C-alpha cells in the first residue's frame, strides 16, 4: 500500500512539473515579442511657412510631414496608418502663428475626428504646443495632427512640427 501511495505521489509530481514546464514555456514564447522593436512611426518638418486657411470650428489636418522612421506603421505626408492593432502613445508638437485674438486648438485626429485633449492658445505670437494621447488603435486606423480656429476662419501659419506614434501594448 505504501508503494502505491508513493507511486501516486510520484505521478502527481511528474504531472504537475510537466504542466508547469509547458506553462513556463508558453509564457516565454508570448513575451519574446516584447524584445522585438515595437510598431512606431516618426514624422516631422521644419522651416516651413505653410498657411492653413481655416474654417471656423473645423479641424484641418497638418500635411507635408517627412517620414523620419517607421516599423509596422505606414507614414506619409499627411497621416500615419496603423498596421498592427494595439494601444499606442501619440506625442506631437507644433509651432505656429495665428492672427490677433484667434483661439487656436491643436489636437490628435483619429480617422479624421478629434480625440482626447487639445492644446488651446489665444495669441498672435508664435506658439509652440505639445499634445499627447494614449489610444487603442486597430489595423487601418490613421492618425494625424489637426488645427482649428474657434474664433473665426482666420489663417494659421505653421513653421515646424513633429509626431511620434508608438505601440506600447498589444
What's the pLDDT score for residue 40? 92
Cell of 125: 505670437
Give me the chain's average pLDDT, please.
83
97 bridge partner residues:
126, 157
**Whether 59 and 120 share a structural domain:** yes
At 73, which CATH number?
Answer: 2.60.120.40
Beta bridge partners of 166: 40, 89
Residues 69 and 97 in one domain: yes
Note whether 98 and 156 are within 8 A (CB): yes
If asked whether residues 22 and 87 sit together in one domain, one would say: no
Domain of residue 17 covers 2-32
Nearest-angstrom CA–CA distance, 136 and 170: 9
Q: Are residues 60 and 23 in the same domain?
A: no
Q: Are residues 91 and 152 in the same domain?
A: yes
Could you read off the pLDDT of 19-74 as tens digits, one per residue?
555 455 555 555 555 556 789 999 999 878 888 888 899 999 999 899 988 998 99
- Which range has the top average pLDDT, 34-48, 91-105, 111-125? 91-105
Number of domains within the chain = 2
For 85-103, letters b (16+ CB in 10 Å) and e give: ebebbbebbbbbbbeeebe
Same-domain status, 153 and 69: yes
Question: Are residues 72 and 137 located together in one domain of the fold?
Answer: yes
The grid cell for 50 is 505653410
Amino acid at each position: 500500500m505504501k508503494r502505491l501511495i508513493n507511486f501516486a505521489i510520484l505521478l502527481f509530481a511528474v504531472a504537475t512539473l510537466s504542466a508547469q514546464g509547458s506553462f513556463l514555456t508558453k509564457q516565454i514564447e508570448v513575451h519574446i515579442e516584447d524584445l522585438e522593436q515595437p510598431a512606431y512611426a516618426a514624422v516631422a518638418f521644419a522651416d516651413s511657412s505653410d498657411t492653413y486657411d481655416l474654417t471656423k470650428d473645423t479641424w484641418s489636418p497638418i500635411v507635408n510631414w517627412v517620414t523620419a522612421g517607421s516599423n509596422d506603421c505606414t507614414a506619409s505626408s499627411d497621416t500615419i496608418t496603423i498596421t498592427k492593432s494595439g494601444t499606442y502613445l501619440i506625442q506631437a508638437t507644433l509651432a505656429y502663428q495665428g492672427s490677433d485674438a484667434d483661439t487656436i486648438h491643436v489636437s490628435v485626429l483619429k480617422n479624421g475626428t478629434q480625440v482626447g485633449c487639445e492644446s488651446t492658445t489665444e495669441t498672435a505670437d508664435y506658439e509652440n504646443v505639445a499634445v499627447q494621447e494614449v489610444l487603442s488603435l486597430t489595423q487601418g486606423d490613421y492618425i494625424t495632427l489637426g488645427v482649428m480656429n474657434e474664433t473665426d476662419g482666420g489663417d494659421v501659419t505653421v513653421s515646424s512640427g513633429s509626431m511620434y506614434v508608438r505601440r506600447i501594448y498589444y
